[in-house]
Amino acid sequence: MLLALDVGNTNVTIGIFQGETLSYHWRLRTVREQTADEWGILLRNLFALSHLALDGIKGIVVASVVPIVDSNLALMARRYFHTEAVFVTPQTDAGIAVLYDNPNEVGADRVVNAVAAFHKYGGPCIVVDLGTAITFDAVTAAGEYLGGIICPGIGISIGGLFAKTARLPMVDFREPEKLIGSNTVGSIQSGLFYGTIEMIDGILDRMKNTMGAHARTVATGGQAALITGASRHSLTLDEDLTLEGLRLIWQRR
């Protein structure tokens, strides 16, 4: 079995592959201060709940955009699984050419998403990842990572609005019952939801003007399911895209 970890700024997504099949997956909050032993105990408990044995793991692959956790993850892999974790870095042979001006600047998750999207859907394609940031990543017809766009995420927008205003409350992100809110909470939720949708649709319009209207569009990330049905574009929802990309990169070793 392969253990794949996608470590984001807000959440950690953990997957267990048996061959090419994603058999188990969990989404947990990212705790930057978590020690190697805390990581190990957490995984041991998840494995026990799913009746999995730690010694069944033959490899560990990680995409992390939170460098402070990497050393503890590496130590956890050695201590609890007796193996070296493979971290996706700019030097990793991911099977895709990165055309960024400085490839060292590209987040591991964005490259991993591009690998999986091209493998599953072909190119040209655009990946919209709704995480802490909302990212748009472009892959050419030849399978090259062209670059992308980075925008503030939904949580950042909610937190910023709450932090910078005196009387506006914190709200959750959901599709509002009606467009024009009749109370403060409903008005904020409408602004967040439709503002996010219009931003995504507007950026996709511009990207498709550059890449071609036939570019396939894939949505992933923790909040992707909330927006796919409301977009003007035909978005393919693939919540496990990053984990699948990690598996594909692992297979290239």
The tens place of each residue's pLDDT in the chain, 253 residues long, gives 999 999 999 999 999 999 999 999 999 999 999 999 999 999 999 999 999 999 899 999 999 999 999 999 999 999 999 999 999 998 899 999 999 999 999 999 999 999 999 999 999 999 999 999 999 999 999 999 999 999 999 999 999 998 999 888 999 999 998 999 999 999 999 999 999 999 999 999 999 999 999 999 999 998 899 899 899 999 999 999 999 999 999 999 8
pTM above 0.75, yes or no: yes
Q: Are 13 and 242 in contact (CB under 8 A)?
A: yes
97-247 and 2-87 share a CATH fold: yes
Among 6, 109, 129, 238, the one annotated catalytic: 109
DSSP of 222-237: TTHHHHGGGSSS-EEE
CATH homologous superfamily for 2-87?
ATPase, nucleotide binding domain (3.30.420.40)
The CATH number of domain 97-247, selected from 3.20.20.60, 3.40.50.460, 3.30.420.40, 3.30.365.10:
3.30.420.40
* Extents of the domains making up the chain: 2-87, 97-247
What per-residue string of b and e applies to 166-185 under the rule 16 or more CB within 10 Å gives b? eeeeebebeebeeeeeeeee
Q: Is 109 a catalytic residue?
A: yes
Interior angle at CA 2, CA 6 and CA 147, nearest 5: 35
> Tell me, what's the pLDDT at 222?
85
Sheet holding 125-130, edge to edge: 97-98, 144-152, 133-139, 125-130, 216-220, 235-237
Sheet holding 2-7, edge to edge: 21-29, 11-18, 2-7, 59-64, 86-87
